[in-house]
Structure 1
Amino acid sequence: MVSTNSIALLFVVLTLFLIHIKKIKSRSIHKNGKSEPRLPPGPAPWPIIGCVPQMLREKSTFRWIHRLMKEMDTDIACIRLGNVHVIPVTCPEIAQEFLKKHDATFSSRPTSMATRIYSRGYLTAGITPYGNQSKKMRRVLVSEIISPARHHWLKDKRTGEADNLVKYIYNRSKSSSGTVNVRTVTRQYTGNVIRKLVFGKRCIGVERADGGPTIAEEEHVEAIFTIIKYLYAFCISDYFPWLVGLDLDGHEKFVNEAVRTVNNYHDPIIDSRIKKWRSFGNSNEESTIDEPHDLLDVLITLKDSEGKALLTPEEIKAQITEIMFASVDNPANAVEWVLAEMINQPEILKTAMEELDRVVGKERLVRECDIPHLNYIKACIREAFRLHPIAPFVPTHMAMSDAIVSGYFIPKGSHVLLSRLGLGRNPKVWNKPLEFRPERHFTSGSTEVQLIEPDLHFISFSTGRRGCVALMLGTTMTVMLLARMVQGFYWKALPDVTSINLDESFEDMFLANPLVACVEPRLPLHLYP
């Protein structure tokens, strides 16, 4: 594989051969004798290739971007990659300008190698550029998939997976080691829930008696998290489309392998179900299907104004994959970080257990109806969203026209990156921002802690036309995951570990090492499934 330094050198030599001019700097534009707004501050770009050589020298692009902004002491910057102006933002007020005041202008998504493959040619709601297709699929999600009525309809399926979560951890606690890989538990729980909601079944393969994941389920979830990793990963070909196919940075290989794995599991189920529903109603065919039983059934049975199928098989397959990777990441990551922080700060764990004992008691397992009253549990989750976000940036917004934001000129086609990392750890907003302190989320006059953050002091579910539509499902999955784990078990570090290492992975925002902890039951034995 070609090294990043070789690629950088190639770009530099090619540029110098084609154009021999000085580096371009952002200058004031004068029009009719008046000074026009400038681009946000940023490093001086090379002609044609912009700052790609600097990006390639860095092993972690998002850390390089944040380091640049810190060095320039700015809350908004402009980094040109190829001909694309990349605009990172770490200030809540500026972020609100983008997502509220100028929401219509920045409601599109850029095209990229990964999003094209993931969406099967832009057939989905979330990562498809703004237009008729994205609006059509978003209407489907809002009205048919994540509506309050549909959420209630799927309650028993979610509860079944919360019970299985407790069963699996309990069985692990009774094993010879008594240890649990928390990352495996949290990711498999979210994978189990969304598979159950979409396909009507958790298990891929033969279900394990202890409630743990099969090899196929582990492979499925791993592929989904690979999809998330490369969703907006600063791939070279996204800025130089003529490089697609050369795979200079290796992204295409991982993207294609992950999608192939997911499709191998999804497509046979979807094709078989479509065939059954399409034959339903034929007088010469018998079918046991009489009404939808899961979200796949719902998508298949949607009709247009003429009574024909609203969605094509390709649209269904693409949207199912997007539902999967949009659902598993935040809950799994947040809860792993919360438990790591709790083990290092036992008083936080104690306070959370006391709240559960007070609100729920020890004679039943926590239920979804308890969520409004579990304010400390939700404060812990909010703090994880703030301090330990799943990704450094929200999914990229793209400018559909020129705009003036916070006094700066944002050209059409710019990629706007609202920084989860920069907003949540902004010292101008948060006191001691690098400390995990759930109490900071209790505000005077508020009776219930919510996971959403409308002022964008951190980002949980985002906002605006391209914000997450599944707030209710995301909240339920995250709170139930943490609440069941804290209510049902005592957690502590391994015997030879004095404290959990809270270092982040250099390449992403996960714990550098998966959390492994000792676990003991804390409820009457009859409550464990």
Structure 2
Amino acid sequence: MLFQAISYTPSFLRPLPQSFWHLLLIIFFSFMVIKTIRYHLVENPKKAKLPPGPKPWPIVGNIPEMLANKPATRWIHKIMEELNTEVACIRLGNVHVIPVTCPTIALEFLRKNDATFASRPISMSTDIISKGFLTTAVTPFGEQWKKMKKIFVNELFSPHRHQWLTNKRNEEADNIMFYVYNKCKNANDNGLVNVRIVTRHYCCNLMRKLVFNTRYFGEGSNDGGPGLEEVEHVDAIFTLLRYVFAFCVSDYMPFLRGLDFDDHERRVKDAMSIVDKYNDPIIERRIQKWKDASKTSADSEDLLDILISLKDANNKPLLTSEEIKAQALELVLGGVDNPSHAAEFAIAEMINQPDLLQRATEELDNVVGKQRLVQESDIPNLNYVKACAKEAFRLHPITIFNPPHVAMDNITVSKYMIPKGSHVLLSKQGLGRNPKVWNEPHKFQPERHLKNDGSMVVLSEPDLKFISFSTGRRGCPGIVLGTSMTMMLLGRLLHGFDWSGPPNESTIELLKYSNGDRYLGGPIVAIAKPRLAAELYHQ
């Protein structure tokens, strides 16, 4: 009995029948099947996939391939061609890079979902150039960007401000005519003109005039050209533009920053030291003048005065000296490359097709005549010249990709999943040369931009069939200034001079690019001959 009592097992501890476990297993699997079906058909009807792209390595992603296939811009386009896709996903470190070459998909990013892609990436170069993200164009979405964007739109590029600065723009348009005329007449130059020097220095002179109210940091040149100081400053400016959104390894693997794996950081810092050497003393002296009340709003001369004079709600300076320095530099950077590059390439293409050059000069002669120079008021009537500039923007963009847009949330675009933090790169080259959009995309044909009804040609392209000034929240607010700079530069050079290729060369080579596919391998050097009365070229 004792043994029986000890060996007794309560019923709830006895083994359950095997049929019970079978039933429980069937119930469990049924539950999982129902849950899975509900997730896929109800809660998540169709989970989007990433755009197509190369298989990434662990941790580093596709960085090894990027480094082995320089320039990265060409490598990315090659991947897209091999995959036969107009949107791709390339993982660099932990960043999903999304290049786009289709206008329809580009509009989904920058029009339909513009609010989601209104930020910029944090990178080594933009951090240094913006002095810690104090500016507008390269600063990530946030309160600082909102503050500076409001200043940009309302204070610096309003219609009133554009009109206020007209005389300064006219001065530089006159000066470039004086400079090119002197180069033509210089026996040592044999009529040869370096078009790149002309276009870049016109744009840099103009932006210095608008921002600092000066053309020269030093004595300048008697022929209207740059002095040693301006040459150094312009070279540094274009170095910064070259690296501002370059494919830098440390931007995708931040723990490598400081090692300067690809020598980008040194070059950016060296260029910044040169720019600061010229810009900062002017800004500091001007700030002190406002503090001393030796300068007031009544005698404001330029955009620097506007930045310094802004007040907050407590009537204290709205901007710090570092914000002023950073924004002044960004103003110069934002105004010099697009117009100079478009004018250089347009002239080269027109020299290669003399009938285009003749048609443009005939339009200028009909609209302007030969008794005066082109003025900004003539621009609306210069449809063919505008078409030439527009075609240069399409076929020969200053950069291969637009500045990156960063996804601020997970989102589905064109049936693809775009993860939060992705860098979306609209390909200026891919959009402008897309054979599905453009007939003979590699041919320079200004006529493609002329409308049958004769309506006015504009340089912007809101449908993103190519990119001149972009669109959306991150679009360029200085379209009016950019248009006037481009058209006055190209219009004056075409109206004032006959252009032809250099001796012993029938055409100008346009297909040799420098590292990164950014510029022509060498500047255009062409023969220029004055075609107007001599007195029109003198200041």
Task: Give the TM bin, normalised by the shorter chain.
Answer: over 0.9
The aligned residue for residue 250 of structure 1 is 263
| Equivalence for 2:249 | 236
Name the counterpart of 1:512.
521
Name the structure 2 match of 1:25: none
User: Out of 280, 285, 291, which is 1:272 matched to?
Assistant: 285
Q: Give yes or no for the alignment of 1:209 onto 2:219.
A: no
For the residue of structure 2 that corresponds to 1:498, the secondary structure is coil
Identify, as 1 or 2, the structure richer in helix. Answer: 2
Q: Distance in 1 between matches of 2:318 and 2:38?
A: 50
Distance 2:61 2:500 in 1: 49
Residues 266-415 of structure 1: pairs in structure 2 closer than 5 A = 266-280=279-293, 290-415=298-423
- Cα displacement (A) at 1:291: 2.2
In structure 2, relative to structure 1, the CA distance for the partners of 1:406 and 1:170 (3 Å cut) is: same
**Runs of 4+ with >6 A deviation:** none
Aligned to 2:126: 115
TM-score normalised by L of structure 2: 0.91
Which deviations, in whole Å up to 9, do the C-alpha atoms of 1:167-225 show, x marking residues without a partner? 00000000112110000000000000000000111111003221010111011111111
Change (3 A) 1:353 1:41: same
2:235 to 209, 222, 225: 222
| Corresponding residue SS for 1:501 | coil
Instruction: Write the distance in 1 (CA, Å) between the matches of 2:246 and 2:491.
Output: 33
| SS class of match (2:527) | strand
Structure whose CA Rg is larger: 2
The structure 2 residue matched to 1:49, chosen from 52, 60, 71, is: 60
Of 494-503 and 309-318, the range deviating more from structure 2? 494-503
Cα distance in structure 2, aligned partners of 1:78 and 1:268 = 45
Q: Is the 8 A contact 2:393 2:467 kept in 1?
A: yes
> Partner of 2:26 in structure 1?
none
Cα deviation 1:450-476 (Å, max 9, x = unaligned): 000011000000000011000000000
- How many residue pairs were aligned? 496
- Aligned-residue offset at 1:444: 2.9
| Per-residue Cα deviation, 1:265-314 (whole angstroms, up to 9, x for no partner) | 1000000000000110xxxxx56884211110010001111111111100
> For residues 39 and 62 of structure 2, what CA distance do their matches in structure 1 show?
31
1:277/1:289 contact within 8 Å kept: no
Can you give the 5+ residue segments of structure 1 that lack an aligned partner in the other structure?
Answer: 1-28, 281-285
Deviation at 1:345, TM superposition (A): 0.4
Residue of structure 2 in register with 1:95 after alignment = 106
Question: SS where residue 274 of structure 2 aligns?
Answer: helix
Residue of structure 2 equivalent to 1:259: 272
Tell me how far 1:528 sits from its aligned partner.
1.1
Q: Quick check: 1:155 aligned with 2:166? A: yes
Inter-partner Cα distance in structure 1 for 2:269 and 2:39? 51
The answer (yes or no) to whether the contact 1:388–1:509 under 8 Å persists in 2 is no
Instruction: Name 1:32's counterpart in structure 2.
Output: 39
Q: Deviations over 1:7-64 (max 9, x none)?
A: xxxxxxxxxxxxxxxxxxxxxx999234411000000001111000000101200000
Stretch of structure 1 that moved more, 490-499 or 60-69: 490-499
Kept in 1, the 8 Å contact 2:220–2:228? The answer is no
Query: Residue 445 of structure 1: CA displacement?
Result: 3.4
| Partner secondary structure for residue 247 of structure 1 | coil
1:527 aligns with 2:536: yes
Q: How far is the alpha carbon of 1:505 from its aligned partner?
A: 1.1
CA contact (8 A) 1:30 1:36 kept: no
Distance 2:157 2:337 in 1: 17
- What displacement does 1:375 show? 0.6
For residues 38 and 91 of structure 2, what CA distance do their matches in structure 1 show?
A: 23
The corresponding residue for 1:179 is 192
> CA separation in 1, counterparts of 2:518 and 2:509?
14
Q: Equivalents in 2 of 1:30, 1:76: separation in Å?
A: 31
In 2: Cα distance, 1:200 partner to 1:30 partner: 69
Deviation string 1:388-408 (CA, Å, 9 cap, x unpaired) is: 000011110000000000000
- Corresponding position of 2:14: none
Q: 1:509 Cα shift?
A: 2.8
> Is residue 89–residue 417 contact of structure 1 (8 Å, CA) maintained in 2?
yes
Between the aligned partners of 2:115 and 2:295, the Cα distance in structure 1 is: 46
Structure 2 residue aligned with 1:437, among 421, 440, 445?
445
In the alignment, the residues of structure 2 paired with residue 355 and residue 287 of structure 1 have an alpha-carbon distance, to the nearest angstrom, of 45
Q: CA 1:416–1:31 in structure 2 vs 1: closer, same or farther (change >3 Å)? A: farther
2:6 match:
none
Secondary structure at 1:88's aligned position in 2? Answer: strand
Cα distance in 2 for partners of 1:207, 1:407 equals 57
CA contact (8 A) 2:168 2:209 kept: yes
**TM-fit CA distance, 1:508:** 2.4
Shift of 1:504: 3.6
Does the 8 Å contact 1:76/1:90 carry over to 2?
yes
The code of the aligned residue for 1:80 comes to R
Give the aligned residue type for 1:107. A
Pick closer, same or farther for the CA change 1:47–1:199 going to 2, 3 Å.
Answer: same
Aligned equivalents of 2:535, 2:306: Cα separation in 1 = 37
Opposite residue 32 of structure 1, the aligned amino acid is: Y
Q: CA deviation at 1:102?
A: 0.3
Give the aligned CA root-mean-square deviation in angstroms.
1.3
Q: Secondary structure, in 3 states, of the residue corresponding to 1:46?
A: coil
Question: Is contact 1:168–1:210 with CA below 8 Å preserved after alignment?
Answer: yes
| 1:205 aligned partner, one-letter code | G
- TM-score calculated relative to the size of structure 1: 0.92
Mean CA deviation greater in 407-416 or 213-222: 213-222
What secondary structure is seen at the aligned counterpart in 2 of 1:167?
helix
Distance across 2 between alignment mates of 1:53 and 1:446: 52
The Cα shift of 1:439 comes to 0.1
